[in-house]
Amino acid sequence: MVEVIKPLASLKGRDFLSNLDLSPAEYRAVLDTAHAMKRGAYKGLRPLEGQTLAMIFEKPSLRTRTTFEVAMNQLGGHAVNLTNAEIGLGTREPVRDIALNLERWVEAIMARVYLHSTLEELARYSSKPVINGLSDLLHPVQLLADYQTIEETFPDTRGIKVAYIGDGNNMANAHIQCAVLSGVKLTIATPRGYEPNAIIYMEALKLGADITLTHDPLEAAKGAQVLYTDVWVSMGQEAEASQRRKIKDFAGFQVTPAMLDLIDPDGIFLHCLPAHYGEEVVEEATLHKKSRVFDQAENRLHAQKALLYHLLS
């Protein structure tokens, strides 16, 4: 019988804008709950009966929308999908007014936005929890699923080598924060000029994280237990002419089966999806025997379900 973990009182009603909004103990509790939920615990239980999650999307979504909506349904609650065309964050109505309306109707807000400052404003004015479903700075819910996936192969993440190869974007920043919580040895390989956020990096070092920045993707990949990449061109930037130069700058950073041969024999490959095949990765890598890309996508459901359980139960 799978043990049911009680919701943490310390997390009830809290915002989740970054992975470092969790203490190490809270991070551990959320992941332990996610593992238990995947094994079948909580089946038939409805701890969020009668509760509603408002989901705001400035950016389109497959994984974020589906997994949050299914998670609420499986926990006994309900989700309301709000596209930006309908609510107009900061255009049709001020972000403040949207927050002050939604807090009267729902128990939590999940927002997938362009600017991290939009999330901070929602959280400032809403008395209900605000969850970061993605911003230009961080993607913390993705990292919960990522580390659940990593722990399925490497149950103790302390000291394992994680190599992130690609753009120093919101995913790289979130990996830096999770290095604090997980105890991994993180190497981030980017082209020059594409390094991750310096403030987030320095804060993580002060908190004791083991992080190396490099410009050599092959050296980063050698012996890694986990190889991770993300798109080079983020959603909303595809039409920019400068992206052609950016793709050129990333020559040598594409994940291929040959690069996967460099990692640990038992190592795994992760990509948060969607993939831009022919840019940061080739199809053969996502379908490779070392790939856990689709397990990782599945775990968005379990990890976010665990997060909602602790924030709202």
Domain count, the chain: 2
Are 71 and 172 within one domain? no
Q: How far is residue 246's CA from residue 45's CA, in Å, rounded to a whole number?
A: 48
User: What is the Cα 233 distance to its own chain's centre?
Assistant: 17
| Alpha carbon separation from 225 to 14, 24, 136, 216, 221 (Å, rounded) | 33, 22, 27, 17, 9
Q: Is residue 2 part of a domain?
A: no
Are 70 and 51 within one domain? yes
Task: Select which of 63, 116, 139, 302 is catalytic.
Answer: 139
Are 96 and 235 within one domain? no
Expressed as residue numbers, the domain containing 28 is 19-138+298-312
Task: Select which of 51, 74, 142, 296 is catalytic.
Answer: 142
Is 139 annotated for ligand binding? yes
Is 23 annotated for ligand binding? no
Are 304 and 239 within one domain? no
Residues in the chain: 313
Please identify which residue in the block is written with the tokens 């490959």: 269
Are 308 and 206 within one domain? no
Are 181 and 253 within one domain? yes
Is 295 annotated for ligand binding? no
Is 273 annotated for ligand binding? yes
Clarify whether 300 is annotated catalytic: yes
Q: Is residue 5 part of a domain?
A: no
Are 44 and 23 within one domain? yes
Task: Select which of 63, 116, 292, 300 is catalytic.
Answer: 300
Is 243 annotated for ligand binding? no
Are 102 and 84 within one domain? yes
Clarify whether 271 is annotated catalytic: no
Clarify whether 92 is annotated catalytic: no
Q: Is residue 183 part of a domain?
A: yes
Are 91 and 117 within one domain? yes
pTM of the model: 0.95
Clarify whether 112 is annotated catalytic: yes
Are 81 and 154 within one domain? no
Clarify whether 146 is annotated catalytic: no
Are 257 and 239 within one domain? yes
Report the chain's mean pLDDT, rounded to a whole number: 95
CATH of the domain at 273: 3.40.50.1370
pLDDT of 239 above 60: no
Is 24 annotated for ligand binding? no
Reported as a single tens digit per residue, the pLDDT across 138-192 is 999 999 999 999 999 999 999 999 999 999 999 999 999 999 999 999 999 999 9
Task: Select which of 35, 63, 65, 112 is catalytic.
Answer: 112
Are 201 and 163 within one domain? yes
Reported as a single tens digit per residue, the pLDDT across 247-263 is 889 999 999 999 999 99
Q: How far is residue 310's CA from residue 5's CA, in Å, rounded to a whole number?
A: 10
Q: Is residue 217 part of a domain?
A: yes
Q: Is residue 10 part of a domain?
A: no
